[in-house]
Amino acid sequence: MTHVQPGILAPTPKFASYLFFHALPHANLSAALLRLSQLANGTRVVVGLGQSLVLALGHSIDGLHDFPSYALPGCDIPATPSALCCWLREDERGELIHLTRHIEQALAGAFVLEQQVEAFKYKTGLDLTGYEDGTENPVGMAALTAAIVKDRGAGLDGGSFVALQQWLHDLPAFEAMSDQAQDHAIGRRKSDNEELDDAPESAHVKRTAQESFEPEAFVLRRSMPWANAGQAGFMFSAFGCSVAAFEAQLKRMVGAEDGIVDGLFQFTRPLTGSYFWCPPLKDGKLDLRAIGL
């Protein structure tokens, strides 16, 4: 699909930066977004619009709504909405610095950068715990079906919804766990990535087995590790044709259905949580017709 932002379907880059912006009141948001569209071809910069921004422009995107928050024993899931997110993707970290400056300049006077998360590819695509992420990612047409909107009309088809969460790892706590306890928390062996038949029901793999939901809850994961000032974790990123699959997985992870909390919460927790709508492309630029631009 030529009107999909290509970075959504492409493998994770060597380096990335997630830029979260809030919108200034009474600013010319439309003009700023049009300037951004000149920079964002969906490859180096994947753009997502938050619900508050879409509403501020006098429009709505069916399926875009508030991020779910939970406060349950053993896990707190925060909702931290932003107006706009730009996922920068590069092979050189220095290029991220220059690209960030260009984006801030394009948005100046209308949007202010409120959070920036620097991410990177670890080895073959591992989490900092050493486990592979996205083992059961759909590929080919299955990836398109899971991640990309279709049959919704011009300005919507080729778009995607993305759920973003910055997770903070307690690496000392994780390293204090036995090898078996680590594997049972994930549900796979770290040594060969094989799924464990004898893993407990709290194992992450069992909590989020995409084919175990009704309907099946497939998402396209593009998560990456991050580290800054002595802290480290994972920038969870899941693209979907809607947010329904992600919400089904999250609800099960926190034990809202059966009281079984995902093993991940033994050593990590989310600091943020937000949804964005990633518009499609038209003639190599962001197609913003759905929000009146």
Helices 29-39 and 93-107 pack at an angle, to 10 degrees, of 150
Condensed to tens digits (0 to 9), the pLDDT of residues 261-282 reads 999 999 999 999 999 999 999 9
Integer-rounded Cα radius of gyration of the chain:
19
> Quick one: 226 exposed, middle or buried, by C-beta within 10 A (0-12, 13-18, 19+)?
buried
Q: Is residue 1 part of a domain?
A: no
Task: Provide the mean pLDDT of the chain.
Answer: 96
Are 23 and 170 in contact by the 8 Å Cβ rule? The answer is no
Condensed to tens digits (0 to 9), the pLDDT of residues 167-202 reads 999 999 999 999 999 999 999 999 999 999 999 999
Task: Name the one residue in this structure whose structure tokens are 């480290």.
Answer: 232
* Structural tokens at position 250: 């999250």
- Domain span at 44: 6-291
| 99 has pLDDT over 80 | yes
Rounded-to-integer distance, Cα 53 and Cα 263, Å: 35
Q: Is 0.85 topped by the overall pTM?
A: yes
Domain count, the chain: 1
Condensed to tens digits (0 to 9), the pLDDT of residues 22-62 reads 999 999 999 999 999 988 989 999 999 999 999 999 999 99
Q: What is the CATH number of the domain that holds 199?
A: 3.30.70.3420
| 134 has pLDDT over 90 | no
* Structural tokens at position 120: 């990177």
